């Protein structure tokens, strides 16, 4: 009977099929996006986007609301199917080998929460099972130690502060020792002290474990401090990219914030000559 | 696969362990229902057909088992959505098949616990022995479970596409099916055109079988086999519908909107 279900709903199960992971890893790039386009009806959310992220690199994805940052993350996580183009994460095709990719990456967002009616330990234990973590107890204890919250293990998640919730989300995100971490505005709604602690924690993890990170944020200071490289998006296209220093020099801007405002006001880089070169 | 399915089941064990409201969902409301139908039955026994009205209790218990199993599966996605946890589940290396299987197990466990509690209470309070159905109880339970999974999977598919609004179906759909399932009365009370509808539902055959056993001591195996065959058709259609809706949701970007932005 199960076989019959699988046959008749082939579209679902084939996409979910877990492929062999070994032997197909591209060592050059942790993330490769080639000519990615996503249209929702008449609206083009992502327009022929191509970029790569090197292993261990932190790439900031910037742009005004509606620029296509979140859609790019959703496409890379296989939540949305592209209209055209190819995405590879750790050398694996996101569309064809989605579950193999998901086993090796993780995601944290200020807009996604863990169930508030479970304890911290219970939430992490459930996700340890979902990611097939060996020795989940030891792993959870180690992560709680790392994020300085072992005393909260038995606390109900709903009783945690915003900062503690962010740390719990990050604990969940590091449960499977991800090689690539997708972070969607992870420090939104945190006070400056907690936000700094979270950033330090992420930088520590990146140094220790060489985790590749794709980072979206509206906090330009945070992006300048955290990211090795940034990509500015507007209307689904890359406006400019490079290290924060390169981008600022090219645009003759004093800060990423100034550049951001300029892009929002003009819909593109203010200086056309540099824009053509960048794109 | 079983490790991940176990993880999803574990999440529901944790959830029920500390929530009185959820324990109430399994125990309190069904017991209240049993009281209601028990007293109606006792009253009707005094008036007419003392041996027949006992059917009501058997019907009520089996229907409640079906309802709990169906709601558990139907609301699995909606619940994660309300908790803003759905993206965490969808980006974990868990297939939809594993998710449906886990929720199916949770639903089956709830239905079983329900059946045992109501069966004991019905025996103690109203001298109705559910086990008097004998071995027929097993295929009845399996068939009701399969039908509940088919309805649950269909509802999950609608929730994938329409979000929280689709959750209303989880509670409403069983009550749309109930009048045509011949739960509390035989199929032959329907006008002939409605009998066609009743014969298209696996649940009708189950309740007819239950009444046959209580009345004559045996059920027609053909009825239970027909119910099983219909369940295969419904499950296959529900799985195909679910797959189609999932593809559409991915294509149109609905999945990422569930419980996030």
Q: Which long-range contacts (CB under 8 A, 24 or more apart) does A190-196 make?
A: A190/A162, A190/A163, A190/A166, A191/A163, A194/A162, A194/A163, A194/A166, A195/A219, A195/A222
Contact criterion met (CB < 8 Å) for B11 and A126: yes
**Backbone dihedral angles phi then psi of residue A186, each to the nearest 5 degrees:** -70, -20
Residues of B in contact with A102 (CB under 8 A): 91-93
Structural domain includes residue A112 = yes
Question: What total number of domains does chain A contain?
Answer: 1
Contact criterion met (CB < 8 Å) for A130 and B256: no
Most A CBs within 10 A among B21, B85, B236, hence the mutation to make, goes to B85
Complete DSSP assignment for A106-146: EEEETT----TTSBHHHHHHHHHHHTT-SSHHHHHHHHHHH
Per the CB < 8 A criterion, the answer to whether A50 and B134 are in contact is: no
Contact criterion met (CB < 8 Å) for B235 and A114: no
What's the rounded mean pLDDT across residues A54-73? 89
pLDDT at A25: 41
Structural domain includes residue A224 = yes
Contact criterion met (CB < 8 Å) for A12 and B247: yes
Query: Which tokens hold the place of B183?
Result: 């739960």
Contact criterion met (CB < 8 Å) for B7 and A127: yes
Number of C-alpha atoms within 13 angstroms, CB side, residue A171? 34
pLDDT at B96: 85
Strands A180-184 and A212-216: parallel
Contact criterion met (CB < 8 Å) for B93 and A122: no
Residues of B in contact with A111 (CB under 8 A): 84, 260-261
Strand partners, A241: A231
Distance CA A80, CA A77 (A): 8
Structural domain includes residue A85 = yes
Give A155-212 pLDDT, tens digit per residue: 999 999 888 898 899 999 999 999 999 998 888 777 788 888 888 888 888 888 889 9
Structural domain includes residue A123 = yes
Q: Given B3, B232, B256, which is nearest A129 (Cβ)?
A: B3
CA distances from B40 to A33, A142, B55 (A): 67, 59, 12
- Identify the band that residue A55 occupies on the pLDDT scale cut at 50, 70 and 90: very high
What CATH number should be reported for the domain holding residue A185?
3.40.50.300
Distance CA A158, CA A190 (A): 16
Contact criterion met (CB < 8 Å) for B15 and A79: no
Most B CBs within 10 A among A7, A17, A18, A80, hence the mutation to make, goes to A80
Q: Given B15, B90, B261, which is nearest A118 (Cβ)?
A: B15
CA distances from A7 to A188, B80, B260 (A): 44, 28, 32
Give the number of other Cβ atoms within 10 Å of residue A166's Cβ. 24
Tell me the nearest-neighbour CA distance from A211 into chain B, angstroms. 18
Contact criterion met (CB < 8 Å) for A13 and B97: yes
Cα angle A248, A253, A255; round to 5: 75
Contact criterion met (CB < 8 Å) for A9 and B243: yes
pLDDT at A269: 58
Residue A103, pLDDT > 90, answer: yes
Domain containing A42 equals 21-278
pLDDT at A263: 76
Strand partners, A33: A51, A87
A122 to chain B: closest CA residue: B14
- Identify the band that residue A7 occupies on the pLDDT scale cut at 50, 70 and 90: very low
Tell me the nearest-neighbour CA distance from A205 into chain B, angstroms. 21
Q: What is the DSSP code (8-state) at residue A37?
A: E
Find where tokens 């109900």 sit. A156
Burial class (CB in 10 A: 0-12, 13-18, 19+), B175: exposed
Structural domain includes residue A101 = yes
Structural domain includes residue A8 = no
Residues 6+ apart with CB under 8 A from B43: none
> With an 8 Å Cβ cutoff, is B239 touching chain A?
yes
Contact criterion met (CB < 8 Å) for A129 and B256: no
Structural domain includes residue A165 = yes
Contact criterion met (CB < 8 Å) for A8 and B247: no
Most B CBs within 10 A among A2, A5, A70, A166, hence the mutation to make, goes to A5
Q: What is the DSSP code (8-state) at residue B165?
A: G
pLDDT by residue for chain B (261 residues), tens only, comes to 777 788 878 877 887 777 766 777 777 777 777 767 776 776 676 666 655 557 788 888 999 999 989 988 888 788 888 888 888 988 899 888 888 888 888 889 989 998 999 899 888 888 888 888 888 889 999 999 999 999 999 998 888 888 777 777 777 888 888 888 888 888 888 888 888 999 999 999 999 998 888 888 888 889 999 999 999 999 999 999 999 998 888 888 888 777 654
Distance CA B259, CA B81 (A): 5
B231 to chain A: closest CA residue: A1
Contact criterion met (CB < 8 Å) for B10 and A125: yes
Q: Given B6, B239, B253, which is nearest A74 (Cβ)?
A: B253
Predicted TM-score (pTM) of the model is: 0.79
Give B194-239 pLDDT, tens digit per residue: 889 999 999 999 999 988 888 888 888 899 999 999 999 999 999 9
What's the rounded mean pLDDT across residues A252-272? 71
Structural domain includes residue A195 = yes
Most A CBs within 10 A among B1, B8, B11, B245, hence the mutation to make, goes to B11
pLDDT at A14: 38
Size of interface A-B (CB pairs under 8 A): 137
Most B CBs within 10 A among A112, A156, A173, A179, hence the mutation to make, goes to A112
Residues 82-111 of B with CB under 8 A from A: 83-85, 87-97
């Amino acid at each position: 009977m199960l076989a019959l279900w699988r046959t008749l709903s082939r579209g679902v199960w084939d996409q979910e099929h877990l492929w062999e992971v070994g032997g197909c890893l591209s060592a050059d790039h942790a993330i490769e996006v080639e000519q990615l386009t996503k249209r929702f009806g008449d609206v083009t959310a992502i327009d022929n986007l191509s970029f790569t992220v090197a292993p261990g690199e932190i790439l900031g994805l910037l742009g005004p609301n509606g620029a296509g940052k979140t859609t790019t993350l959703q496409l890379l996580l296989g939540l949305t199917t592209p209209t055209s183009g190819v995405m590879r994460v750790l050398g694996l095709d996101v569309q064809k080998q989605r579950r193999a990719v998901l086993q090796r990456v993780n995601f944290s967002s200020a807009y996604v929460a863990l169930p508030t009616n479970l304890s911290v330990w219970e939430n992490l234990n459930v996700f340890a099972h979902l990611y097939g973590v060996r020795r989940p107890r030891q792993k959870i204890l180690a992560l709680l130690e790392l994020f300085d919250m072992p005393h909260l293990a038995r606390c109900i998640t709903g009783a945690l502060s915003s900062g503690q919730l962010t740390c719990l989300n990050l604990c969940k995100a590091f449960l499977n020792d991800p090689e690539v971490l997708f972070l969607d505005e992870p420090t939104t709604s945190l006070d400056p002290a907690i936000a700094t602690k979270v950033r330090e924690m992420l930088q520590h993890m990146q140094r220790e474990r060489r985790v590749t990170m794709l980072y979206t944020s509206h906090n330009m200071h945070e992006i300048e401090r955290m990211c090795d490289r940034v990509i500015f998006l507007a209307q689904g296209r890359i406006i400019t990219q490079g290290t924060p220093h390169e981008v600022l020099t090219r645009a003759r801007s004093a800060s990423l914030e100034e550049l951001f405002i300029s892009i929002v006001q003009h819909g593109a880089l203010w200086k056309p000559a540099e824009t053509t070169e960048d794109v | 696969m079983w490790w991940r399915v176990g993880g999803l089941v574990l999440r529901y064990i944790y959830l029920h362990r500390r929530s009185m409201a959820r324990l109430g969902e399994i125990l309190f409301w069904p017991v209240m229902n049993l009281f209601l139908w028990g007293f109606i039955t006792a009253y009707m026994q005094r008036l007419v057909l003392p041996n027949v009205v006992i059917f009501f209790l058997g019907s009520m218990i089996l229907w409640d088992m079906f309802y709990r199993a169906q709601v558990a599966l139907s609301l699995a996605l909606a619940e994660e959505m309300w908790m803003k946890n759905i993206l965490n589940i969808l980006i974990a290396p868990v297939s939809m098949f594993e998710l449906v299987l886990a929720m199916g197990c949770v639903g089956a466990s709830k239905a079983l616990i329900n059946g045992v509690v109501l069966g004991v209470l019905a025996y103690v309070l109203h001298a109705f022995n559910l086990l008097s159905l004998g071995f027929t109880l097993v295929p009845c339970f399996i068939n009701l479970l399969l039908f509940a999974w088919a309805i649950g999977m269909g509802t999950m598919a609608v929730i994938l596409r329409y979000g929280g609004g689709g959750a209303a179906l989880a509670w409403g759909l069983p009550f749309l099916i109930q009048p045509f399932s011949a739960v509390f009365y035989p199929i032959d009370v329907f006008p002939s055109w409605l009998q066609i509808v009743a014969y298209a539902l696996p649940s009708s055959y189950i309740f007819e079988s239950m009444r046959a056993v209580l009345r004559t001591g045996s059920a027609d195996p053909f009825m239970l086999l027909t119910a099983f065959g219909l369940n295969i058709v419904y499950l296959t259609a529900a799985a195909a519908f679910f797959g189609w809706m999932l593809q559409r949701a991915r294509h149109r970007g609905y999945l990422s909107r569930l419980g996030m932005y």
